Amino acid sequence: MLIPLQFNPVFKNKIWGGRALEKVLGKSLPENIAIGESWEISGLKDCESVSITQPYYGKKISEILSENKQDLLGIYTRYEEFPLLYKFIDAKQKLSVQVHPDDAWVCANELGFFGKNECWYIVDAKNDSKIICGLKKGITRKILEKAIISNKIEEVLNFVDVSPGDVIFIPARTIHAVLGGILFYELQQSSDITFRLYDWNRLDNNKVARKLHIEEALNILDTTFNNYYKIPPVIFEETSSYIHFFRIACRYFALEEYKFLKDSEINLPVKRSFRVITVLSNNVKLLFDNSSINLLKGSTTLIPACVTGLKAIASSGTHFLLSYVPDLLTEVVAPLSVKKIPRENIVLLGGNPATSDLGIF
């Protein structure tokens, strides 16, 4: 039977990166390099996670999945690849304005199975931090094209204020960017297809502008105005020991959050898929199946679906995130409804009420 799996993160040098992964999360980074991304768990073939947990030490996640598909994924055995990708991203400087395709476009172009719906948990941010989500109200594709030609694209973008603890939902086909001074955790479908629309007239270290993909981006982007990118948290349970939040839920992933108010041991809910725990402060001792594993600050751990009896022991001030592929009715809507959470609040966990996956329940 599988046990919780940990992996070496893969660090990515980026022109816009910095050293916040080291300063805020305590990660040991290569010296004198601007690190923009830490890929925590990845099934992408060109950047697969490799296990550091015995007896699977040295095995790629695809090998573990092929040998233990149902034990790892649970009921979601329709996937031939690990369906989610986990990263920390240090945007010391601005990221490019970009857009990602959806599942339909990826499949139609025979580039795999996964589009790129994603969410961000803001771990750290300077005062007055901003991101870009979509276009301003009333901006059409024609207006956007004129703004691009006249180098005035910044005038039509929708800027959103963010602070630590905010969760942002970026559906596929949404124009987006992160401005400087933000460290965030990204949970997304397993895809790395990105079309850059604008890169702030920036040059790389060789004084060369990075490639743009304006035509590709224009062909897939959604210009519909949306004012629901920032997801309001829903408190599921609050005791003298801890607070348990639901932070986002869609057909692709769900994210929950735990904050410890005093030294405690708590039971973690059973899910029908694998679970992933990322620790943002302090350390966590995870108990399972008459065994245990230590989860360090800044680490991300994959809990196979077959693992039972999961408990977390942590001290006051500990803070971690738990994610999974949800059965939206039984694992999100029903338990929140039992807690008398208003339906409109549940629907907003999926972003825009007009398109939220939770709106059908």
| Catalytically active residues, by annotation | 196
CA distance 335 to 332: 6
CA distance 331 to 335: 6
CA distance 49 to 40: 7
Alpha helices in 120-250 (DSSP H): 141-149, 214-220
Q: Which helix (H) or strand (E) holds 12?
A: strand 10-18
CA distance 322 to 359: 23
Token pair for 67: 């040998």
Residue 318: CB atoms within 10 Å: 24
Per the listing, tokens 């929708």 go with 158
Q: Exposed (0-12), middle (13-18) or buried (19+): which is 210, by Cβ within 10 Å?
A: exposed
Distances (CA, A) of 24 to 27, 50, 183, 282: 8, 24, 9, 12
CA distance 212 to 215: 9
CA distance 137 to 149: 20
